[in-house]
Structure 1
Amino acid sequence: MSRPHLEKGLVQVYTGNGKGKTTASLGLALRAIGHGYKVFMLQFMKGSDYGELQTAEKFLPNLIIVQSGMETFVDRDNPSPEDIRMAAQGLETAKKIVREGNYDVVILDEINVALDYKLIPLEDVLEMIRSKPGHVELILTGRSAPEEIRQAADLITEMTLVNHPFYKGVDARQGIEY
C-alpha cells in the first residue's frame, strides 16, 4: 500500500525575533506524522543534543533529524571554516532531500540565519524552492528571513518578541528551550 502524499506542497517561513520558530515547525511535523506523512528536518548551525533528537529517535520513526553545525555558536562576523563547511554540507543534503521528494515535509531549521550569516548562497536556496516537487511542503525557519525568501513563500509567520525569561536572568532550560 502506498503512502499518502500532499496534493499541493507549499513553502512556509517561520521568522522573527520571538521564540518558537523551531517549536512551531516541530508541531507541524508531529501533525504531519499523525496523518502518515514522512518528515525530514535539517538543523543548520546546531550540533547539540536537543530534546527533539531524542524524541524522534525513541518515538517517531517518520521524523528524521540531521544536524549540520557545531555545538558552539557561530560568530556572525567571523564564522570559522568549519561552520562554513558544515553549512554547505547541510545545504547539499537539503537540496538532495528536497529534489528526491521522498519526504512529504522538509524542515530547514535555522536556514534563514545561515543565509543572514552568509554561510550559504541565497541563490542556491531560491533554486531549491523553485525546483521542489509539487507534493513537498517546505518549511524554512530562523530569524532575519531575506526578502527574496519571503517573496517565494506561500505562508510567513513572524514571531514577535514581547518578553523573555533571559531578561530576568533565566538561562535556556533543557526540555523547554532545547
Structure 2
Amino acid sequence: MKTMKGLLLVYTGNGKGKTTAALGLSLRALGHGQKVGFLQFMKGSKNYGEVKIFEKLPNLTLVQTGRDCFVSFENPEPVDIAMAQDGLAILSQWFQEDRFDLIVADELLVALGFNLVTVQEVLDLIEQRPPRLTLVLTGRYAPDELLAVADTVTIMQEHRHAYQQGVEAKEGMEF
C-alpha cells in the first residue's frame, strides 16, 4: 500500500461550519477504514451530537479537554489553561504513537485566541506529527503563522446566522 503525505488543514473564520467540516472529513476517512483521533479543546459537554454518535463508531477515538461552560476571553481560569495544555500533551502522545491516519484538533484555534496555548507551542507540535498523518485545526482566530504553514486553508465567512434573528442553537445543527 502506498503511503501518502499527510496534510495540514485549517478551518477558520467567523462563519458556521468549521467543526461540521471536520466531522464530515472524519466520517469520510472512517468510511475508507482509516483511524481517526478527534480531540476537542474547550468542549466538555456530552450533549454534542458528535459525542453521542462517535462512541458507537469503530476506529474513532474522541477526547474532550474542556469544561462544560464558557471560558472568559479576557480572563481565562487556570483550569482552562491546564486543560488546553493537557490537549497539547494528548496530541503529542498521539503523534508519538502514530496510530491515526487523521487527527482533528477541534477548537484548538480558539484556545490560541484565548491565550490558553501559544502559537509557538502549536507550531512546535505540528513539526512532531508523523509525515503520513493529516492534521486538521479548527476554530476562529487562526494566526497568520499557522495559515502560512497549512496545506489547505478554508475560511468560513458569515453572511447571516439564524441566531441574529432570535433563533436559539438547534440540537443537531449547532451541537
TM-score (norm 1): 0.94
* Partner Cα distance (1:155, 1:101) in 2: 22
Q: Is 1:26–2:46 an aligned residue pair?
A: no
- Residue 113 of structure 2 is aligned with which of 97, 112, 116? 116
What amino acid maps onto 2:138 in structure 1? Answer: T
Contact 2:13/2:139 (8 A) holds in 1: yes
Pick from 121, 128, 131 the counterpart of residue 131 of structure 1.
128
Q: CA 1:16 to 1:5, structure 2 compared with 1: closer, same or farther past 3 Å?
A: farther
1:115 Cα shift? Answer: 0.6
- Name the residue aligned to 1:51: 49
Which sections of structure 1, spanning at least 5 residues, go unmatched?
none
Once residues 170 and 61 of structure 2 are traced to their aligned partners in structure 1, the CA distance between those partners, rounded to angstroms, is: 24
Give the counterpart letter for 2:127 in structure 1: R
The reply on whether 1:11 has 2:8 as its aligned counterpart is yes
Question: Structure 1, residues 106-153: CA drift from partner, whole Å, max 9, x if none?
Answer: 000000110111101221110111221111000000011011111110
Residue equivalent to 1:156: 153
User: Whole-Å Cα distance in 2 between the matches of residues 131 and 25 of structure 1?
Assistant: 21
User: Which aligned runs of 4 or more in structure 1 are off by greater than 6 angstroms?
Assistant: none
1:175 Cα offset (Å): 1.4
Question: What is the RMSD computed on CA atoms of the aligned residues?
Answer: 1.2
The separation in 1 between residues aligned to 2:166 and 2:84, in whole angstroms, is: 31
CA distance in 2, matches of 1:176, 1:54: 14
Aligned pair 1:71/2:51, yes or no? no
The number of residues matched between the two structures is 174
For 1:103, what is the secondary structure of its paired residue? coil
How far, CA to CA, are the matches of 1:5 and 1:39 in structure 2? 19
Give the Cα–Cα distance (whole angstroms) in 2 for the partners of residues 14 and 65 of structure 1.
19
Secondary structure at 2:105 match in 1: strand
What secondary structure is seen at the aligned counterpart in 1 of 2:83? Answer: helix
Asked whether the equivalents of residues 92 and 128 of structure 2 are also in contact (C-alpha less than 8 Å), the reply is no
Q: Name the SS for the 2:55 alignment partner.
A: helix
Q: Which residue number in structure 2 is paired with residue 61 of structure 1?
A: 58
- C-alpha distance in 1 between matches for 2:35 and 2:113: 29
Stretch of structure 1 that moved more, 159-168 or 123-132: 123-132
